[in-house]
Each structure stands twice: as structure tokens, then as C-alpha cells.
Amino acid sequence: MTNNTPRVALVTGGSGGIGRTVVERLARDGMAVGVHYAGNKARAEETVAAVQALGGRAVAVSGDVADEHAMSDAFDTVEREFGGLDVVVNTAGIMLLSPIATLDLDDLDRMHRTNIRGTFVVSQQAARRVRRGGAIINFSTSVTRLQFPAYGAYAASKGAVEAMTLILARELRGKDITVNAVAPGPTATELFLDGKDQAAIDTLAKAAPLERLGTPEDVAESVAFLAGPARWVNGQVLYTNGGVA
């Protein structure tokens, strides 16, 4: 790959929320982007259209992140469309909250399938396919440090994501591929704000020294840093939370 070859990214969970903001940010940096979705094709196609309207290149790809055959097909599509793959960002994940004592174990299994197995499957494909000079970026959470009640199972799944991310960075020695995780704090997404009253939102906003919630754009900036100029940042968890922890 030469320096003037356009870079290519695949963003899982790229059709909405933080994922869509990451897609749009990488597209502004000149990357062609595979926009992965699990169930909402229309929203993924809207994201692709938004990138194309700004002169960028994008394609929608689907599949269960925990299904290795579906993800192999998704990677194949991006490579076939754009000629290779340089950056994989795995934003896909689910969050089901409950105290450990009362957690429905079916919810535990659902989170582990998507958050742990899904991250593993995507990371495995990325490790096999990303070109030299590329980057693999997984998603953790600042709750691994914050220890909020009711987040036990979710934080446990993300602790596993951090472990596999940091080990993969060492396993890719000599390949010139960085592997890192972004760990957002409280971020003003539709999912995060749902079900919270204004007092709860205000309390969380005051928790950071910067005294506001994060935005999807804040998180996307960290991803863009790791995906592009941050070639000497490797095997790290980047806590993107305004200093809350």
C-alpha cells in the first residue's frame, strides 16, 4: 500500500449512534467506509447516502457480528468494493442493565454473544485481513473503572474486550498494525438518554471536570486519532470521558 492509496475502513454498528458518527468522521478523513448493520437496512442505507452526498464512498454490509461466516462475507464485500481494508472499528454492542443479584441470565448470554464473541469474531477477521499500516479499534466502556451499580454484567463483557484487544496488539508484532480500544464515558446518545430524568442527566454531566456529557463527535475524534495519525499508540485503552475517571 502506497501513501496515496485511499484508506478503507469497516465500522460495525455503523448505521446509528456513535457508529454512524464514526463512519461520517472517517469519511471526512478521506476513507472509503463499509457501514455494517445487523437489522436496520434502511438506516444503514441512509448513512451510506449521507457519506455519498458529501462526496465520500461507502457501502452497506450486514450480518450478526457473532457469526463468523456472516462477518467473513461482510469483510469480503468491503474488500471487493474498495480493494482492501486498513481500519476496522467495532462499535457494535448491547447494554442490558440489572443488579448482579437479579440479572436474567439470558440477558447475560445475549451481551456476551454480541460484546465478547462478536468482538472476538470481528477482531479475528481484522487480524487476518487488515493491511500493513492499519488499525483495529474495539469499544470498551469507562464503567470498567467507574463501577456503577447495575452495570456489572455489561462491564464484565467489556473487560473481556479490553483483554483480547491488548493481547491481539502483541500477537500482531511485526505486522505494523495497531490494536487499541476506546472506552467512552457518559455520552449523550439516544440510547444513553432514554429513561433518564433531567436530574440524573445533570448529575452525570457534572461528574466530569469539563462539566458536560460527551458527544458522539467527541468519541469519533478519538477513533479518528487511533485510525490515522496515532501510529505510536498501540495496545492501549483510551478513556474518552472528559476526565470522569
Mean pLDDT across 4-15: 91
Q: Is residue 80 part of a domain?
A: yes
- Tell me if residue 126 falls in helix, strand or coil: helix
Lowest mean pLDDT among 14-28, 117-131, 192-206: 192-206
The string of pLDDT tens digits covering residues 39-76 is 889 999 999 999 999 999 999 999 999 999 999 999 99
Structure confidence at residue 203 (pLDDT):
87
Mean pLDDT over the full length of the chain: 94
**Does residue 2 lie within any of the structural domains?**
no
Give yes or no for a contact between 140 and 158, defined as CB atoms under 8 angstroms apart: yes
- Domain assignment of residue 245, yes or no: no
Residue 54 in any domain: the answer is yes
Domain that holds residue 164: 8-186+216-240
CA–CA dist 231, 19 (Å, integer): 22
User: Once rounded to an integer, what is the mean pLDDT over residues 131-142?
Assistant: 97
* Range name among 38-42, 114-118, 176-180, 233-237 with the lowest pLDDT average: 38-42
Res. 166: pLDDT tops 80: yes
Q: Is residue 118 in a domain?
A: yes
pLDDT tens string 117-132 = 999 999 999 999 999 9
* Higher-pLDDT residue of 99, 40: 99
Strand 178-184, strand 237-240: pairing: parallel
Q: Is residue 152 part of a domain?
A: yes
Residue 199 domain flag? no
Is the pLDDT at 2 greater than 60, yes or no?
no
CA-nearest of 30, 100, 16 to 60 is 16
pLDDT: which is higher, 199 or 127: 127
Nearest to 237 by CA among 145, 154, 175, 124: 145
Of the candidates 62, 91, 64, the one whose C-alpha atom is nearest the C-alpha of residue 78 is: 62
Q: How many CB atoms lie within 10 A of CB 160?
A: 17
Q: Is 121 inside a domain boundary? A: yes
The burial class, CB within 10 Å (0-12 / 13-18 / 19+), for 135 is buried
Count of domains observed in the chain: 1
Q: What is the CATH number of the domain that holds 66?
A: 3.40.50.720
Count of alpha carbons within 13 Å of 54, Cβ hemisphere only?
Answer: 17
Which residue in the list 37, 151, 154, 239 is annotated as catalytic? 154
Instruction: Tell me the pTM.
Output: 0.95
Task: For residue 37, indicate whether it is catalytic.
Answer: no
The full length of the chain comes to 245
